[in-house]
Amino acid sequence: MITVYECGNGDCFLIENDAFNLQIDLGHSINPHLKIANGNINYDLMISHSHDDHIIGNVGKLKKAPSEIFVPAYYPEYLCIKNKLEGKNSTLLKGMKYSLLYEGKMLYNKYEILNPSLTPWVEWKIGNEKDLDKIKLSDYLKEKNTSYEEIIKEVESVGRCYEKPKDERFNPKEFVDSYFKLLIKNKYPNLDEDGLESDVLANLSHNQTPAGRLNFFIKYFDRYHANDMSIVFLYENSDKKNVLFTGDAGKNVWNRLIDEGKRIKCDVLKTPHHGSKNNLNLEILGEMKPDIALISHNNQHGKIDHHPNIEILGYLKFFKVDVHCTNDIVKNKAVWISKTIGLVPSYDIMFVKR
């Protein structure tokens, strides 16, 4: 059984079978019917990526700790998720074991993890601009009262909190080096413009500890790049239907998987990023070929309902996909698709409203 919980604009799913119970994400708002919150079920917790709408909704309501917490590889995601989980429920979750998931790793020795990539810098397309990190990066970090070496040292310290992937491609130093190249390439020399640093990097120099300064860089990553670190995998449910769990993975992720010949064809699609236009197109949906789509989103109560995007709804209609959603989809003040409540026939999927 797969249960889809209405939790605002965030994802919240529970997979139950004879071998394991896996809670995927915790939504943006409380659903009082969340099964794992009653303390009567053993379960593992997977947080697809570090954004609030996948974490903060129900974590404070948990009465029993998960056996294990699965998170995407690389320190920004691990640290953000850990801080947010413990910030809402430190008594229960402090000191929990975290397991990093990444491409090629097997979940429960059965389901291959397709994303996150262990070499995300390839998709960042930063090239070989050697001068970026040696001159501009050095000057910029100096202005912020830190250095590349200090950041690397702090990253290595964080890395001692979890078991590192046994894969030669896992390279925190290369990750940091490439990420700062990307930051400098995209923003230099106007690093304090575009509304970017006003809430993230501008106050970096006010933090007088290495951990504090690192945290600001992590927040920047969380804001702009965490979606493409989302955990992606295919799950076969009790009806032998393949369900593609996607987090908020974007087009870069899907194009990489298509180029690598990875299987993303599915019977059921957990529509990425609540139906955002930045995450799907006709070519990608043509590879997925779902029969039904699940959309977790929030009806904005009369305001413009950005999720799901009208283009994405058009693509789903083009492929004759049956859409099931946690809230009414309202466009032009009219209900286009009504929310699903109860069982989805033939797919062993249950929608639970708040």
How confident is the model over 235-264, as pLDDT tens digits?
998 778 999 999 999 999 999 999 999 999
Give the predicted TM-score (pTM) of the model: 0.89
Alpha-carbon distance of 87 to 93, in angstroms, equals: 9
Rounded-to-integer distance, Cα 169 and Cα 124, Å: 16
CA–CA distance from 188 to each of 63, 185, 319 (Å)?
Answer: 47, 6, 42
Two tokens at 90?
Answer: 């430190």
Of the three residues 226, 260, 275, the one that is the final residue of a domain is 226
Place 267 in a pLDDT band, splitting at 50, 70 and 90: very high
The DSSP call for residue 125 is: T
Same domain, 156 and 217: yes
Collapsing DSSP to helix, strand or coil, 335 comes out as strand
Shared domain for 16 and 140, answered yes or no, is no
Closest alpha carbon to 230 in 55, 102, 79, 110: 102
253 and 183 share one domain: no
Question: Is there a single domain that holds both residue 100 and residue 173?
Answer: no
Residues in the chain: 354
| pLDDT of the residue at 194 | 38
- Judgement on whether residues 131 and 278 belong to the same structural domain of the protein: no
Is the same domain home to 26 and 100? Answer: yes
Joined tokens for residue 58: 């129900």
pLDDT band at 130 (very low <50, low <70, confident <90, very high): low
Q: What is the CATH number of the domain that holds 98?
A: 3.60.15.10
Domain containing 300 equals: 2-116+230-352
Query: Are both 99 and 159 inside the same structural domain?
Result: no
Q: Give the CA radius of gyration of the chain.
A: 20
**Of 226, 248, 277, which residue constitutes the final position of a domain?**
226
In contact, 4 and 13? CB cutoff 8 Å: yes
To the nearest whole percent, how much of the chain has pLDDT over 70?
Answer: 84
Q: What is the mean pLDDT of residues 293-318?
A: 82
CA distance 354 to 350: 13
Mean predicted lDDT score pLDDT of the chain: 85
Please check whether residues 340 and 234 belong to one and the same domain: yes
Rounded distance between C-alpha atoms, residue 79 and residue 226, angstroms: 12
Q: With b meaning 16 or more CB within 10 Å and e meaning fewer, what string describes 115-134?
A: bbbbbbbebbebeeeeebbe
Give 311-327 pLDDT, tens digit per residue.
999 999 999 999 999 99
Q: How far apart are CA 313 and CA 310, in angstroms?
A: 5
Of 177, 199, 226, which one is at a domain's C-terminal end? 226
Q: What are phi and psi of 235, to 5 degrees?
A: -120, 135
- Same domain assignment for residues 213 and 247: no
Question: What 3-state class would DSSP assign to 194?
Answer: coil
Same domain, residue pair 241 and 222: no
Q: What are phi and psi of 135, to 5 degrees?
A: -115, -70
Q: Are residues 8 and 58 in the same domain?
A: yes
Cα three-residue angle 196-202-204, rounded to 5 degrees: 125
**Which segments of 135-204 does DSSP mark as H helices, in order?**
137-143, 148-159, 172-187
> At residue 260, what is the residue type?
E
Number of folded domains that form the chain: 2
Residue 129 pLDDT > 90: no
